[in-house]
Chains A and B, each alone.
Chain A
Amino acid sequence: MAALVLEHVTKRFGEKVAVDDLSLRIEEGDFVGLLGRNGAGKSTTIKMATGLVPATSGRIEVLGLDIATKGLEARRLMGVMPEDMALLELLTGPQYLRFVGRMYGLDDSTIDARAAELFDTLDLEPGARTLVADYSFGMKKKLALCSALIHGPKLVFLDEPFEGIDAVTNRTIKDILLSLQKKGVTLVLTSHILEVVERLCPRIAIIDDGRLKAFGTHDELGRGERTLESLFVDLVGTEQKGNLSWL
């Protein structure tokens, strides 16, 4: 079964077309890297797929559920780590995870057990009594990941999870994601760190100006010996820049 299907999806904000007739099919258990320049439409695509923003036209199906009509059921199966994180900053980390767990219908003892494990794995224990508002950027990222995983989702969207993260946590998150993939969880990841995407994601989707430029495995995209960065640059097309006149 497909984990995510987008059929001719378009999103307009007034005159601006953020996503333009995008069609994509991601199978269950897949790990897809969603790439694109800033403003290409990656985050809007994720917001539509998670039901946060309605599509102007087209159809989106998540794990067999139409997001327009079965949004709540679909959301129960999803975990989302948005780029802006959207955390409740006046709660402590454990209070926040308890809130999130409750919203997904988990009982308190399950939430507390999972939260303790997540805090231990992601080295968040020193911040257990601190308000989220006082967390460092990296700690907030980790907490956002915890909240995306606490209910055991089948499909996880991760918008820039490696931004502002230290090397050790980076490694831990990668390990977590790979173990999730082994357990059959579908993962959709956006990142500007192409080396990470290259190593983690067997399948790549490249979006430019709201349109799907390419989708497939590294081989299918004809990467060959090239790095993902050079493939990406070739596909989205850019001029050679970088010479500053006064330097």
Chain B
Amino acid sequence: MAVSPLRAVVAAHLQGSANRLRRQLGALGVVATALVLVVGFSLFVMPFVAGLSFMGYLLGDALQGDGQFERNRGALGLFLSSLTIIGGVFAGIGGASRQLPWEALQAYPVSPRALFAAELVAGASEFLTVVELVALAGVCAGIAAASPASTAFLALAFVLGTVLTLALQLLVASVAQRLTKQARLLVVLLPVMAVFLSLGSPAVMKVLTSRQTTSVGQAALAAGRLSPMGQLLEAAQAPYGGVAWREVPQLLVPALLLTVLSVVVAYLLVSREKPLPTATGTGPAKRLWSFDAPWAGIARLQWETLTTSLPGRMMMAMPLLTVVLIRGPLATLVSRGSWVVPAAFLYAGLSSTNMLFNQFGLDRHGVKALLLLPIDELAVLTGKQVAFAAWQAVQATFLVVLLVLSGHHDAWALLLGVSLGACSFLVVSMVGQFMSIWQPHPLTKNGMRGARPPLVVVLVTMATVFGGGGVLMLTASTLFSRVPEWSGLVMGLVAAALALVSRAVTRFNAGFLQASRERLVESLGATA
């Protein structure tokens, strides 16, 4: 018997995910990952779901005439909506690399509607989505246990949440794939995130954790009540306060939202029409490069790659995100700490680890041509390191400006931060050179495909970030607390010493690169 296209697409998604895991980790790695997931699920996800179920149970109690219902409904509506939205958005970003190419699917005799439905359902295979949906089910089950009469509405709330999450996931995945090609997504999202996180989250956190409800808090709770989830919760109370069918019109809001969302996603997926590349450019010809040394040529090439690629540009967003974190969600925790400024530089620097641990990733097939150039491996590695150093120097400058603008004027702290950033760059780039040669994986220049590194890279990254970063931070904070005016200079000397070590390590890595040329070409020639 023939299998439906829906099942075929879902099966292909699952097979693709399993194959990717097996390819990256090997059979033993798959078992280890499964164990980690089971432990993680037991230690974090299950208590999380149990807590949410209990919360749902308390709210279910409030449904039966408690005066706090309005406030609770707003808070829970806000929470459930956020859970749905955040779950959908993050699963969309994470799952973008797994999505089957839509252009390939369109060639089959299957209607776009069926393909859309299949892609929607296949999204449920993402780990984050599973966690989010289990959590949602926990809340709904908790409410239903306390107020069984509202079970029908809660079932509807769960269906709504599920479809909303999956639709958002697909929307984000397709928008990311579509817009990142012009790198516009960041330009649009970052200012919104900056404003939201800087202004919104401290206020919301303050309101939700205090009994005094401010106007911002009232607005947030009102938004929660008006959200599709809030509406459904109100409908769920109907059996206790009136006639259930009267609440049915309230379901129009979520239904309308779902319809609009589905139409937008379907439009984005179906309306992809690629223009042909034009053979002749209209702009002025680019000036040719000239160099005094081979490493300078490689540095210029790597610089061009970083400045024109999405992953490279995302590195430039880190200073902004760092300041947003300091001013936003972490404001109450870090505003008085003298270590905030140095830590900001360390955080921004370490966030580039993904790129520094895969220095050949963006070269992809081009690594073959790169290694065929009549230059030695030391020049290749040095050139790349210089380009990354220049890119991080630009980031550090940007961060200095942002920190000064946001009220962090302590010159000694800023100097220490810059020195600490240099130290972290040198440590990460030394380890990164080795990892880039040992475990390379192809990256796309204008998207997020292949952005997930192999497990071994993740583990070494964590060791470097927490181990190396921890030692550097401990040194810097000790210096700053004892001799603040000298701390920057001392860390600068540490950076100079690390630069000398880095030179020696680069020579070693050059030998390793020479021995690994063939494997590097083979690994990066494969598709992400």
Contact = CB atoms under 8 A, between A and B. Distances in A.
Tell me, yes or no, whether A binds B.
yes
Interface of A: 13-14, 16, 18, 39, 44, 50, 52-54, 72-73, 75-76, 80, 82, 86-92, 95, 99-100, 102-108, 131, 133-134
A39 B276 CA distance: 9
B20 to A, nearest CB: 5
Q: With a 10 A CB-CB cut-off, give which of A54, A92, A133, A134 has the most chain B CB atoms.
A: A133
B273 interface: yes
A104 B15 contact: no
Interface in B1-43: 1-3, 5, 7-9, 11-12, 15-17, 19-20, 23
Given A95-B12, A99-B8, A103-B8, A75 B107 contact: yes
Given A50-B107, A102-B3, 16 more contacts: A13-B276, A16-B275, A44-B276, A52-B106, A75-B107, A75-B108, A88-B100, A88-B101, A89-B527, A90-B19, A91-B12, A91-B15, A102-B5, A103-B105, A103-B108, A134-B23
B515 interface: no
Contact of B16 (A52, A72, A90, A100): A90
Nearest to A75: B109
Given A13-B275, A106-B2, A73 B103 contact: no
Given A88-B104, A108-B3, A16 B19 contact: no
A107 B1 contact: yes
B117 to A, nearest CB: 14
A206 B278 CA distance: 21
A16 B278 contact: yes
Top 4 closest A-B pairs, CB basis? A102-B8, A90-B16, A75-B109, A86-B104
B526 interface: yes
B276 A103 contact: no
Nearest to A90: B16
A37 to B, nearest CB: 11
Contacts of A75: 107-109
Interface residues of B, number: 34
Given A18-B276, A39-B279, A131-B23, A72 B7 contact: no
B108 A90 contact: no
A6 B17 CA distance: 41
B275 A102 contact: no
Contacts of A105: 2, 109
A100 B106 CA distance: 12
B301 to A, nearest CB: 25
A102 B2 contact: yes
B526 A133 contact: yes
Contact of B111 (A18, A72, A92, A102): A72
A188 B9 CA distance: 29
Contacts of A107: 1-3
Q: With a 10 A CB-CB cut-off, give which of A89, A102, A104 has the most chain B CB atoms.
A: A102
Contacts, number: 86
Interface in B52-111: 98, 100-101, 103-111
Contacts of B98: 90
A24 B137 CA distance: 58
Contact of B110 (A52, A72, A86, A91): A72
Contacts of B8: 99, 102-103
Contacts of A14: 275
Given A18-B276, A103-B8, A131-B19, A86 B108 contact: no
Contacts of A92: 19
A82 B100 CA distance: 17
Interface in B376-424: none
Nearest to B100: A88
Given A99-B8, A133-B526, A86 B2 contact: no
Contacts of A73: 109
A104 B23 CA distance: 28
B100 A103 contact: no
B443 to A, nearest CB: 14
Q: With a 10 A CB-CB cut-off, give which of B3, B101, B111 has the most chain A CB atoms.
A: B3
B362 to A, nearest CB: 18
Contact of A86 (B1, B101, B111): B101
Nearest to A132: B527
A27 B2 CA distance: 32
14 contacts: A39-B276, A44-B276, A76-B109, A86-B101, A86-B107, A88-B104, A90-B16, A91-B19, A95-B12, A99-B8, A102-B5, A106-B2, A133-B526, A133-B527
Given A16-B276, A18-B276, A103 B110 contact: yes
Q: With a 10 A CB-CB cut-off, give which of B7, B17, B19, B109 has the most chain A CB atoms.
A: B109
B109 A99 contact: no
A39 B278 CA distance: 9
A53 B3 contact: no
B110 A99 contact: no
A95 B3 CA distance: 14
A16 B279 CA distance: 10
A100 B5 CA distance: 9
B107 A52 contact: yes
B271 to A, nearest CB: 10
A91 B15 CA distance: 7
Contacts of B108: 75, 100, 103-104
Nearest to B6: A102
B99 to A, nearest CB: 11
A46 B275 CA distance: 15
Contacts of B279: 39
Contacts of A91: 12, 15-16, 19
Contacts of A133: 23, 526-527
Nearest to A18: B276
Q: With a 10 A CB-CB cut-off, give which of B8, B20, B98, B111 has the most chain A CB atoms.
A: B8
Q: With a 10 A CB-CB cut-off, give which of A76, A82, A88, A103 has the most chain B CB atoms.
A: A103
A76 B109 CA distance: 5
Interface string B322-356: 00000000000000000000000000000000000
Contacts of B526: 133-134
Nearest to A85: B104
Q: With a 10 A CB-CB cut-off, give which of B19, B23, B107 has the most chain A CB atoms.
A: B107
